[in-house]
Structure 1
């Protein structure tokens, strides 16, 4: 009875799930009562292999052995838990990354980051001086890759993600641990680390609370969790105040009450851009009102509407409202309380009141372009997976009447060849001109049928499953199948043309592609072609020969720049008359001091080196003036370095010319100043410093 829990090994744990509780009261029966035995694969393996711990089974021993080898430490004594954490968290992290999750500061990405950083801290405790986790991935894949081929497909991405995250974490780990060490200095076992320090470790250094608790527990301390939560709540309160101060209306509670009273909006916009509906509610400045006059900007709720509300990355529709004696312009549509389509509208004539029935017209051109961009984003998602790998997962998107913007998980810039391959693939599907297919299905059935669902999205009892195009291989399977509640083209050919216009990174492990479709894509391509034609005309060559002509000109320019730099250098070294070339002497120090017009900081370096050789023993002070600005270079010969500091002299010159300072070594320093007309004053300051 006095054992701490290791006397028994739990292999079975029956949980009878029958009711749902709220505030410690049973409120309803579950729709499907069930029994969870708690006897998973690892517990079964422990029993069959006669082990008292899952970490002693073959599922873990190979990974632990790899961790021992990589850290040159044995999984014994107080080091054993660290090896176990590394092995366990390596598996979790690798599977999440292979599923398209990337480390971030929110949602599932934050869960992954916590898991990764906990393992990485234990690698640090074991003395690993270099990133460790990514080096264990091959062992994991050799153990589990046959059963889970997605690990093999995503191996490179998993390794790179683990490596980059560990590099980032190690840059903050030492700073965070320094703060921790200072905070607990003089602590006795049983004392508590204050919540504010724990929050600073989380907020500034990326230490999850459980990681701080682990470190405190290892040293015999506790953490004031309540204080941490208070600090977190204070930050959220500050964020809310900042949000309110930005002019946004915080009326979510009002709309929840409306939703409970009136039910959801009926959306008629999948098949139409026109419709009519009854005004059920009007909000002005976050408050419910019965009517609004001309000039007011209000939020309006209809019982039914063809206006799409911004969600799933698709922007809200624009358009107009008309009713007897009045009109309004719809400038945005957003969802409130889950399924209310709330129109932001500016009343341009008359007055709008609850109970009015209005004709609603969505801007057809913007809707069509938005549809095309949204459907193109779906095709791009599939093309990304086909070209870059199955590790690619959507991290966000925004499609509107202007363009399609798609964020995705990938750890490296997309090459020009890869972009070209994706673009060609999407356009090939567009040219198929096959009908888009939409079905209503239960979410799980849709996923089992191959539809892509976005992790973290909330799906109802019924979802729309959109199929676009046919596979470009011979199997004739659908090209793109996704769960999506947005509006889309009727046929892939309605997209017209797809053109990628930019690709770049937006966060660690997240890239962004922006693309155009239809007429916007045609105009973009025509604009690029016009530039090429104009260049060809100016260069008097064919458009195809423009790149070679430009390359030749660049080579010529570089050669001329080199010649000019050499001529400037020779001119500076000649210095005019022989008297100009001779060094002056100040306080026993030889000084060559000159102002060189048209020589920049880069050019000054070579001139200074040559002058330093000429002077033999002494100081070279040069100020180059280009475009009205000054560059300062000071060089000191090695025998004078202990007596004269080049950085001090350069700083004196820069300050005399109105600059902020200079930097460098005792024998060579450079700086800059905004006013080249004060160059002589800069040299005078150097002379004064030598006196």
Structure 2
């Protein structure tokens, strides 16, 4: 079989093969299917071409090839519980495919698939068997055409005929459909046995000696509601080959997890755990981590973030499963974001959106792991106590306990089920879901989620209502202290628990709940308020001189406003009255930035289109950040126009307004709902600048003019289809403008420019001069590489069995320069082989090239490269005419060059 540097080269080889045969190389679509509610995630390579096959969409090509990322971890296609414990189950996988939309059909599809597998990938034909549709199970005949085409290629005894369950594909109950031809590989020897004529033998009968490599679907019918099959006027082809399986075969791996797609990620997880080699019964945990890191990184890059329902909940389940397996193998510190970053590094060449979303991936994964670890530690202790308390011989995990684990500790029901099953117990998840619905009705609010401490759930239940918020109208007010919460005083994990106390003194860090407060609790992207709390009066006895500094305000559950503070003076106790004062200047800055996000949202929709929706935000005192859905970067003109629209609304200085209304009334008024929000019967509608109308619970300026000035300072991508704008307002915007002007003045002085316009003229001249210098340097590099004054040892032409050979160590090992030099040397020789090797960035680079008259006939450049690269501890190969490879052992370069004649001789025989 052909040797490849890694599975990424297999992917590019597949795409290049079909590109050379007139196929458009189409990038992978995101995992979230566009405008397709029938699918949770993209689960096959053909999903993005669905409308092309049905005729609802037209493309400017009739042949396509792609490497499509797919996910199966929810709904009908859910292999999650098997992932990590079998050799080939995954959540995320890559499907290689080629497609014909009314262009070529069975003959070319079959011939090209066989050529690619046996000649390009060099999989032994003797190990391959195929299957065709036998005409049973659908109103369609035996696929004689496919059978006859395969019979021209392989012996008939290796052609299986199976019914519709195995070899007939359809998009749905009606619509395009047709027979399939599957290609399987025999795993247990050099030659597949002639079992095709034997009953209950072969790949369709759970025969583990075989593995499916590729499925060729021939869409030639349209199935009507009546069940009748009509022939399509333009038959099409849809194929799918799993990259993970191909890599396992070509790399000789027993499991997909031992391939170059997974091994570096598994090894990264093991290095974080301080182990190496096979970990026996714990090996599955490392495989789970590696698989789930791939899925998590790609999902977040495609705009999915971990949440409580739908697609986001699938991501949350995947991440939490990986984190739990990390705890089983000793990964007790935050680790999953580091494993996900390994995925970004390994796959970003093929999927650059991973690199663009690198920061978003790290942030989302880190936050989820931090929250879930707290949940996991508490939940696992409680699950263990529940199991220990069950009667001997019990077979069921209590439904009420599972529901309470979720509502009070945010512990996932499906994780409770997994742990229960590990202890030979059954959990009725449907009954748990019913109990949770009932609890929502009893308590008045939904499950509190992963980050809510038990103590806040109990306080919310006891109080029966949340804190009354005064902050829309005032920045200070009075409130009665209802609860004091502090970290527990136990050892180890118990020390992290929060407990409720009645009194606190100087120096204590406390979390306080009042009946009324002007402090805004962090939510909807707006930062929580800071400020000061002072004792006001008491009905319980002597007064106090207590004073506290509030560092943050949060809202964990049930409408509670939790003030995170430190006691700076005196003592506090539950039941006393306190004066609460928000830091006004900071609150004003937050108001300006929050109102500016509303105006920005309106301007984006006006300039770019109604497809723009909010995907996230941060409203802090010093800046604002706004994430929104959009397909590509903003142009300079678009950015300027958006900025101008916002500032025009500010200058117009229209008053702001708020109103409480029903959700239908709000929609009728044109209000925009923020992403991911859950609304009640009444909603708060905020109007800013006369044009922006949104549902929002935050604090805002009284008039648009209070924002002062709005300036965009950055725009970029954070995920597939998600852009981010960062901006400043008010005095912050003025400072940014002043600082930028100062930099421009300094640049002008350095360039001796007359004015700002002259700066660009002089920069243009500098760039032209730099480009000229670069061209001169490239020219010198080419001369050196092709035999200039510094060509050095080994620049003479030698003959090996009549074949001319130039084997040379070159001073410039830039791949592009080496390719150009090889072309020049081949032209000079007319007929022969060129071997060039050199050092670049501390690594050895090799290029082997053969002239057209020799390539693939007498000499195979890829095989010669594979033989030579071993001298520098590398791996590689390539096409018959040209191959490039690399290795870490620079010291072996001279040995490599010296071995070139003998290696060529061995190939020539």
- TM over 0.5, yes or no? yes
Cα distance in 2 between the residues matched to 1:440 and 1:348: 39
Aligned to 2:897: 683
Cα distance in 1 between the residues matched to 2:530 and 2:586: 8
For each residue in 1:115-169, what CA deviation from the matched residue of structure 2 results, as whole angstroms up to 9, or x when unmatched? 3679999x989x9683658639xxxxxxxxxxxxxxxxxxxxxx9xxx9xxx999
Match for residue 460 of structure 2 among 232, 251, 259: 259
Cα distance, 1:401 vs. partner? 1.8
Cα distance, 1:299 vs. partner? 2.7
Aligned to 1:277: 479
Cα distance in 1 between the residues matched to 2:53 and 2:870: 45
Cα distance, 1:575 vs. partner? 4.0
Cα distance, 1:653 vs. partner? 4.8
Cα distance in 1 between the residues matched to 2:623 and 2:779: 50
SS at match of 1:317: coil
1:119–1:508: structure 2 CA closer, same or farther, 3 Å change rule?
Answer: closer
Match for residue 654 of structure 2 among 423, 431, 434: 434
CA contact (8 A) 2:625 2:725 kept: yes
Match for residue 411 of structure 1 among 621, 626, 631: 631
Report whether the alignment pairs 1:612 with 2:826.
yes
Cα distance in 2 between the residues matched to 1:441 and 1:104: 37
SS at match of 1:312: coil
Cα distance in 1 between the residues matched to 2:710 and 2:875: 52
Report whether the alignment pairs 1:573 with 2:786.
yes
1:516–1:582: structure 2 CA closer, same or farther, 3 Å change rule?
Answer: same
Matches within 5 A, 1:178-193: none
1:416–1:555: structure 2 CA closer, same or farther, 3 Å change rule?
Answer: same
Aligned to 2:745: 533
CA contact (8 A) 2:614 2:674 kept: yes
For each residue in 1:647-681, what CA deviation from the matched residue of structure 2 results, as whole angstroms up to 9, or x when unmatched? 344345544335x4334212211233456565424
CA contact (8 A) 1:251 1:286 kept: no
Decide which moves more: 417-426 or 354-363.
354-363
Cα distance, 1:197 vs. partner? 7.7
CA contact (8 A) 1:330 1:346 kept: yes
Matches within 5 A, 1:417-428: 417-428=637-648
Aligned residue pairs: how many? 517
Cα distance, 1:373 vs. partner? 0.9
Cα distance in 1 between the residues matched to 2:473 and 2:763: 52
Cα distance, 1:562 vs. partner? 2.0
> Where does structure 2 lack aligned partners over 5 or more consecutive residues?
1-28, 95-169, 178-313, 325-368, 376-449, 487-496, 536-543
1:416–1:622: structure 2 CA closer, same or farther, 3 Å change rule?
Answer: same
Cα distance, 1:587 vs. partner? 6.0
Matches within 5 A, 1:222-621: 238=321, 246-247=373-374, 250-251=451-452, 254-262=455-463, 263-284=465-486, 285-292=497-504, 296-323=508-535, 324=544, 326-347=546-567, 352-454=572-674, 457-469=677-689, 478-541=690-753, 542-576=755-789, 581-586=795-800, 589-598=803-812, 600-621=814-835
Cα distance, 1:334 vs. partner? 1.9
Cα distance in 2 between the residues matched to 1:205 and 1:580: 47
Report whether the alignment pairs 1:135 with 2:350.
no
Cα distance, 1:254 vs. partner? 3.8
For each residue in 1:314-370, what CA deviation from the matched residue of structure 2 results, as whole angstroms up to 9, or x when unmatched? 121233444445554433322133421112334455654423444433333332221
CA contact (8 A) 1:575 1:581 kept: no
Cα distance in 1 between the residues matched to 2:522 and 2:315: 30
Report whether the alignment pairs 1:115 with 2:14.
no
CA contact (8 A) 1:496 1:518 kept: yes
Cα distance in 2 between the residues matched to 1:429 and 1:129: 42
1:635–1:352: structure 2 CA closer, same or farther, 3 Å change rule?
Answer: farther
Supply the RMSD in Å over aligned alpha carbons.
4.6
Cα distance in 2 between the residues matched to 1:516 and 1:168: 45
Q: What's the TM-score, normalizing by structure 2? A: 0.49
1:372–1:652: structure 2 CA closer, same or farther, 3 Å change rule?
Answer: farther
Matches within 5 A, 1:122-201: 130=52, 132=54, 135=57, 171=68
CA contact (8 A) 2:505 2:567 kept: yes
Cα distance in 2 between the residues matched to 1:546 and 1:393: 38
SS at match of 2:38: helix
For each residue in 1:443-472, what CA deviation from the matched residue of structure 2 results, as whole angstroms up to 9, or x when unmatched? 444443343334753444544332222xxx
Cα distance, 1:425 vs. partner? 0.7
SS at match of 2:672: coil
Q: What's the TM-score, normalizing by structure 1? A: 0.64
CA contact (8 A) 1:318 1:331 kept: yes
Cα distance, 1:496 vs. partner? 1.7
Cα distance in 2 between the residues matched to 1:261 and 1:597: 78
CA contact (8 A) 2:476 2:582 kept: yes
Cα distance in 1 between the residues matched to 2:836 and 2:93: 45
Cα distance, 1:495 vs. partner? 1.3
CA contact (8 A) 1:373 1:401 kept: yes
Match for residue 837 of structure 2 among 591, 610, 623: 623
For each residue in 1:394-419, what CA deviation from the matched residue of structure 2 results, as whole angstroms up to 9, or x when unmatched? 23322122322222233333322111
Aligned to 1:632: 846
Cα distance, 1:621 vs. partner? 1.7
SS at match of 2:589: helix
Cα distance in 2 between the residues matched to 1:194 and 1:437: 51
Cα distance, 1:380 vs. partner? 0.8
Aligned to 2:417: none
CA contact (8 A) 2:79 2:89 kept: no
Cα distance, 1:431 vs. partner? 1.6
